[in-house]
Chains A and B, each alone.
Chain A
Amino acid sequence: MKMNRRQILMLMPAAAIAWESILAGTPEEAPNYKMSEHWWSMLIDISKCIGCGNCVRACAAENKVPAGHFRTWVERYHVDDENMTEPQVISPNGGFDGFPAATEDTGKYFYVPKLCNQCADSPCTQVCPVGATFISPDGVVMVDRKYCLGCAYCVQACPYGCRYIHPELEVADKCDLCYHRITKGLTTACCENCPTGARQLADLKDPKDPIHEFLRTHNVQVLKPQMATGAKVFYNDLDGSVR
């Protein structure tokens, strides 16, 4: 590519801004965003999920999730009326490519999207030996990649299987609710790409957020409530067989 002097001069301010951003070593600023004004969560409506895998693909593309690992995934449950507590569950490649057609007529089938539950009393942050994983003031559990030792203690401590060790970076990795997006007023990649609105980002500190009305009027549950982790991913219509 040939460039003349005029074109180079025109590009220089952009290059200077980019260089400054690199030097600063911090994410792009979100000047109107105040962490203290938010408390992020997610609402998942089981009855709306069709198992298309759009959320898994969008998440992988947005967050450069390595193959074979998942910040979010979808499980398909098959619960037979004769054995309600022993469901048949599949999640081929995390639901990335969708699901095969159901083969049995008996029982019920439904899809359960999973992601980090952004626990308020998270067991993973509790065990991190250096505090590299932490809860942000706006309620998102995050990992400082420059600080994480890669000991995997947090992976062991998560009851939901939401964490993994990034094979190239060798640090813990997990869903951070697309923090780079939500702090700019956008929704998460998975919510944005869900064709049925089964996933909704919610802000529990925002009194105008429809989550409040929804929580008041629906049968909403969190995963593994007996773990007392203060999970903030709420499931509507969650079947008792879901683990």
Chain B
Amino acid sequence: MNGVEGFMYPNEIALQWSVLIVLYPYITGLVAGAFILASLVRIFRVEAVRPTYRLALLTALSFLLVAPLPLQFHLGHPERSFEMYFTPHSTSAMAMFGYVYLWYLMAVLVFELWLDYRAEIVQRAQSTKGLLGLLYKAMTLGNYNISHEALELDEKIGWIVTLIGIPSAFMLHGYVGFIFGSIKANPWWSSPLMPIVFIFSAMVSGIAAVMLIYMATTKMRGLKIDVACVDAIAMYLFYTFIIDFALESLDLIHRIYEADESFRSLDFMVHTKLYIPHIVIQILLGTLTPLVLLAITQLVKLPERLRKRLYVIAGSLIMIGVFAMRWNVVIGGQLFSKSFLGYTTYKMHLISKEGLLVSAGLMLLPLAILYVLVRILPPWHEGENQVLAEGAK
């Protein structure tokens, strides 16, 4: 009956949160991770990854602009969502969303990008004509001062914004983890580790995403990939991934060892309905395989070409693995009954408000936005391109 095994409370049979709610933590995770990578340059002065700095910020912005859309599509009454801003409920973790989101978008990302691009925006405002020229003029906010002192001040303020941005990025994604981790009714979610696991998996997915986007865009531009840069990114990816893996393992071991009242039910679910997405895709394919691949690149001196290939494979597997992790949290957490006596099935439609096509569209939309943003605010300098292009030959 309706894909139910055993006993579900009658109101539990259909899932309340669909694939769209899987996309939401996945996308915000990419934002937070991309920003953390950018902060390596600004705060921690890791010069090797500088070629990805602006690209990481633009990637973060592209995904952040899309982040609220899955939620909007999911709401029964999206026209009332503004109530979260005007009459937020103080005890609700979800009520924070609007504020955390706006803070992160306006006070951190857009502000930092503006400061970093200001000199170029002013130059383009003066040299570009037509609609695009008007856009650049608007983006200057009327400030055309790009004297040495002014730019130095921009740099200082940018540093402070990034410094504030790091805890903000943690807050943006940690709070998403808290939304799940604080639900005591659901033992699959309820864990104080959830926000921390979310933050580290976010960093892993965001760093992997920027690495892949950097490699793809450089290739598309016909330029040589800065190997020192991707080596450095892969190293940070590897170490962050180890912490993430350790935390997720800790959560798993704790559950298995403690074996509370929900354990038999959850264990059965992991070995049946969640076997493919959890054991095969998330753990074997999306975690252990890329960890081994990255470990090989760190331990063995491999030729450049092979290293880059391994990075691409590991990065892609990580993207799949982290998506599977979000899927297993959101969908997995609704497949079992809160009576611990049965299981239901998630049926995803191809064409519906919360179906596969809409989800795929929402996943591709940030890339389209990134394409436009890169056109308006190129993250690379033209001169640098030529030098690199010559180097590639």
Contact = CB atoms under 8 A, between A and B. Distances in A.
Contacts of A126: 91-92
Nearest to B189: A156
Interface in A144-165: 147-153, 155-165
A157 B183 contact: yes
Given A89-B341, A151-B94, A130 B184 contact: no
B365 to A, nearest CB: 22
A184 interface: no
Which 4 pairs of residues, A with B, have the shortest CB-CB distance?
A150-B76, A161-B9, A170-B76, A159-B185
Nearest to B18: A152
Contact of B9 (A149, A152, A160): A160
Nearest to B1: A92
A129 B186 contact: no
Contact of B89 (A130, A164, A170): A130
A70 interface: yes
Contact of B340 (A149, A162, A243): A243
A166 to B, nearest CB: 8
A150 B71 CA distance: 11
A89 B95 contact: no
Contact of A147 (B8, B83, B88, B91): B83
A149 B78 CA distance: 7
A197 interface: no
Give the secondary structure class of B's interface: loop
A158 B28 CA distance: 26
A228 B151 CA distance: 57
B7 interface: yes
A183 to B, nearest CB: 25
B179 to A, nearest CB: 8
A126 to B, nearest CB: 5
B3 interface: no
B75 interface: yes
A236 interface: no
A5 B13 CA distance: 56
Given A153-B94, A157-B185, A170-B77, A130 B84 contact: yes
B77 A127 contact: no
Interface residues of B, number: 40
Given A87-B341, A161-B337, 4 more contacts: A91-B10, A129-B97, A149-B80, A243-B341
A243 B262 CA distance: 11
A148 to B, nearest CB: 7
B50 interface: no
B72 to A, nearest CB: 10
Nearest to B10: A94
B12 interface: yes
Contact of B77 (A88, A129, A163, A171): A171
Given A90-B7, A130-B88, A161 B341 contact: no
Interface string A161-180: 11111000111000000000
B338 A159 contact: yes
Contacts of B9: 73, 91, 114, 160-161
B148 to A, nearest CB: 48
Contacts of B138: none
B77 A148 contact: yes
A171 B76 CA distance: 6
Among the interface residues B10, B77, B184, B185, which one has the most CB atoms of the partner chain A within 10 A?
B10
A48 interface: no
Among the interface residues B71, B78, B89, which one has the most CB atoms of the partner chain A within 10 A?
B89
B84 A129 contact: yes
Contacts of B337: 161
